[in-house]
Chains A and B, each alone.
Chain A
Amino acid sequence: MTGCGTCSIRVDLNHETQEDQNQSPLFMSTNNDNHFNQKQVRKAEFIKPPNTLKAKVGEGGLSEHILAKAQAVIEENSVDFLPIGQKHLSALHEGIKTAEAQRGNIDPETLISAILYPAMQLKANGGMFHYPLVSVVAGRLIQFLEVIHELDDASMEIVDGFYTALRALVVGQVKGDGGKSGAELYDALNEACYRYFLHKP
């Protein structure tokens, strides 16, 4: 890798002297902390590359009008989310089936990842293609999966609940926030998570 010879600044951490530190009684050396007095070996080079991007695009940002036009690209897109959603739902289902069959044989992190990644895809894509409730529900499933330690019966029951809900939203083509039913569905899933964490803090 070549750096920018004209603008690089080399910082040598060895320049931090013991003298300065020893001013404070907190840093008084004893016979037992000789390892703290070893010479530091790490060096960090800080490089400030020239801002060619700024020179290229100039000043002033983009107008609200342009941003509104760009937002309309998202809001008016006619992408059919159903095949995308179904693809990731299938992967989610596969991940759940594998977890149920292989619990105890494969490490929990691998099994959780097989459920987590399709859930992440549903979260990422739903909201971009008119299915924000899919994103919210999948996002909650991700939060749950990121903090549990194991896939026991209780957690698998909750994961199954999320899968059933997501399947209903995708296959039923529930666009938008799902109204009152959408809120109730989300609350019920949340409640299940609360109860799980009450018993497994």
Chain B
Amino acid sequence: MAYNFKTLKVLVVEDNQPMSDMVQSLLYAFGAGEVFTAKNGEEGFDKYVRHTPDIIIADWMMKPVDGIMFTKKVRNDPRSTNPFIPIILMTGFSEKKRVIVARDSGVTEFLVKPFTAKDLYKRIAQVIERPRQFVKTIEFFGPDRRRKLEEEYKGPKRREQDTSVQAPLINPNKYQQAKNKLSHEE
């Protein structure tokens, strides 16, 4: 048994045509039935209402309506056909403060560019297998933002890690070595 994506409808909202084509090709390679595309959040919302997709994959930086505003509209606009729809936000940012902004807009999953086919698949599998409950308060409507922080876990890590290309963080040993070297020079 395997997933059957034949009836799956996905909306890709991305202003960069080569990237949009790439994501569309990946989804067809996964077996998706229909992939709709839009060039920004404004066009994306119209297509979302018209085609009622099952999943949305949206870029962050777009004009005139970016991925964050688009997400808020899908979650809160009275014309929205399915405010619970999973939204995967693609972006080159990976810093925590950016993830928090995305999370607070109602995004379901975060996909850091550049990514591999497996990275995209993992996000899709995540929204299928582990859908998040929704929270409605006066200020917020969207997927439950509470998630266990990974850094709280101190034991061995056995899960396969993402393969996205990431610049390594500053190596503290090297930092210390450089500091010692500099103080010696001074």
Contact = CB atoms under 8 A, between A and B. Distances in A.
A48 interface: yes
Contacts of A74: 22, 26, 116-117
B3 A124 contact: no
Interface residues of A, number: 62
B117 A61 contact: no
A3 B142 CA distance: 11
Contacts, number: 178
A136 interface: yes
A115 B55 CA distance: 32
Interface centre among B8, B93, B167, B182 (most CB of A within 10 A): B167
Interface in B135-186: 135-138, 141, 144, 164-167, 169-170, 174-175, 178-179, 182
B95 A142 contact: yes
A121 B61 contact: yes
Given A66-B30, A70-B30, A120-B91, A191 B18 contact: no
A54 B128 contact: yes
A66 B31 contact: yes
Given A139-B166, A193-B170, A57 B5 contact: yes
A47 to B, nearest CB: 4
B86 interface: yes
Contacts of A136: 165-167
A155 interface: no
A45 interface: yes
A90 interface: no
A28 interface: no
A143 B169 contact: yes
A46 B134 contact: yes
5 contacts: A57-B128, A60-B3, A74-B116, A143-B95, A195-B182
Interface of B: 1-5, 7-8, 16, 18-19, 22, 25-26, 29-31, 54-55, 61, 75-76, 78, 80, 83-84, 86, 90-95, 97, 113-118, 120-121, 125, 127-129, 131, 133-138, 141, 144, 164-167, 169-170, 174-175, 178-179, 182
Interface of A: 1-4, 42-49, 51-54, 56-63, 66-67, 69-71, 73-74, 77, 79, 84, 117, 120-129, 132, 135-140, 142-143, 146, 190-191, 193-195, 197-198
